[in-house]
Structure 1
Amino acid sequence: MKKAAELLDKTSLNIMQISERVGYPDSNNFSTAFKRFYQLSPRQYRQKEKEMQPSKKYMHCAKV
């Protein structure tokens, strides 16, 4: 699931493509397993990460 989260965060692959890359031929099964692990659907996880991106960038700049 960590690999799936990384792909959701760092790529524009769709959910089906990500599910296949992490070993789930059925994207519905993948989405169910992902939600059990993160308490968010893959789509919700991706949206949350996108919303946090500006603050991540700011934190990186603030450390420099």
Structure 2
Amino acid sequence: MLIMLIIAVITLLLGYLWGKHDGRAEGYQQGSAQLPLLLREQSLEQGYCILCSEQIQEKPSC
């Protein structure tokens, strides 16, 4: 009975660690994909373009 309990706890612990590792890897991928968009959004809100380093005009040029 004690051996079954130990095996169950070890299995749960391994599942937890595996899920935590996969979640961390997925979160890193999502963060890497979103970071350039967030930086560009912040720079445009502050009034300059991070790509060409020019000031944003109040009126659109189109």
Range into which the TM-score falls when normalised by the shorter chain: 0.3 to 0.5
Give the number of the structure with larger relative contact order, counting CA–CA contacts within 8 Å between residues 6 or more apart: 1
- Greater CA radius of gyration, 1 or 2? 2
Per the normalisation by structure 2, the TM-score is: 0.35
